[in-house]
Amino acid sequence: MHLAASAIVLSIRAHGEHGAIVRALTAEAGVQAGYVRGGRSRRLRPILQPANTVLGDWRARTEEQLAALTVELIHSRAALHGEPLPAAAFDWLTTLTASALPEGQPYPRLHAALEGVLDAIEAAPAAWGWAGSLARYELLLLAEMGFGLDLSACVATGAADDLAFVSPKSGGAVSRGAAAGYEARLLPLPPFLTQGGQADWGDVLAGLAITGHFLARDILIDRRAEVLASRERLVERLKRAVA
């Protein structure tokens, strides 16, 4: 087995005295794991940071064997790990992706979307510039994992206009008229999730409430407490940024 590819670093776990097992997302080969000799050394620690883009070279004698991995830095986002909101966003995005995706299966749309969100976090002057894309990434991940939400038409009437809520049970959109009297049982649907465009803070938090509900229910069932703690830290920091 030999693979050389650009990859986004998702997770690093200590292994042995100095090494590390690294999982990274490639565009064509999906999530790939590998053992990096000296991965916790002073030279490699700045390179092996979640959200960094590296050129990875994976080599193994068989497909079943954990590959030996060497890395070269392509693009570092390590400086933003010192800023609370970007750091929390990097932590959640990489943790979610590493937890949700099976190894060795290609998800080119997710790779492109993740790279786009990471670039937006890096480029935007404040969180409002990237928070909406975070919710869109979560929505895409749900769809790619087979749990996509149907936000194209009302689940009750089939109408495609005046969609204002999402059913927490079916994951389908609900029009304002069909929701009358049941609003408290439904999740508000912000327009940016269906129509695109910029979102205000209220809409961003509403969008994250929708995706968070279905991620916890359908994707992170066995790892809910451990993985979602990362998301809770991010959402709390976003709420403090609004206040």
Co-location of 147 and 162 in the same domain: yes
List C-alpha distances in Å: 97 to 37, 94, 198.
24, 5, 24
Would you state the pLDDT for residue 221? 83
pLDDT digits (tens, 9 = 90+) for 108-136: 999 999 999 999 999 988 888 899 999 99
Co-location of 92 and 181 in the same domain: yes
Co-location of 197 and 87 in the same domain: yes
**Domain end among 18, 47, 76:** 76
**Domain end among 76, 100, 115:** 76
Q: Whole domain around residue 20: which residue ranges? A: 2-76
Output the domain CATH number for residue 143: 1.20.1440.120
Q: How far apart are CA 55 and CA 51, in angstroms?
A: 13
In the chain, the number of structural domains is 2
Would you state the pLDDT for residue 42? 87
Would you state the pLDDT for residue 227? 86
Co-location of 7 and 93 in the same domain: no
Would you state the pLDDT for residue 11? 96
Global pTM value:
0.93
Which residue ranges of the chain lie beneath pLDDT 50?
none
**Domain end among 19, 43, 76:** 76
Co-location of 18 and 87 in the same domain: no
Would you state the pLDDT for residue 224? 65
Co-location of 51 and 84 in the same domain: no
| C-beta of residue 103 within 8 angstroms of C-beta of residue 31 | yes
* Collapsed DSSP state (helix, strand, coil) of residue 180: coil
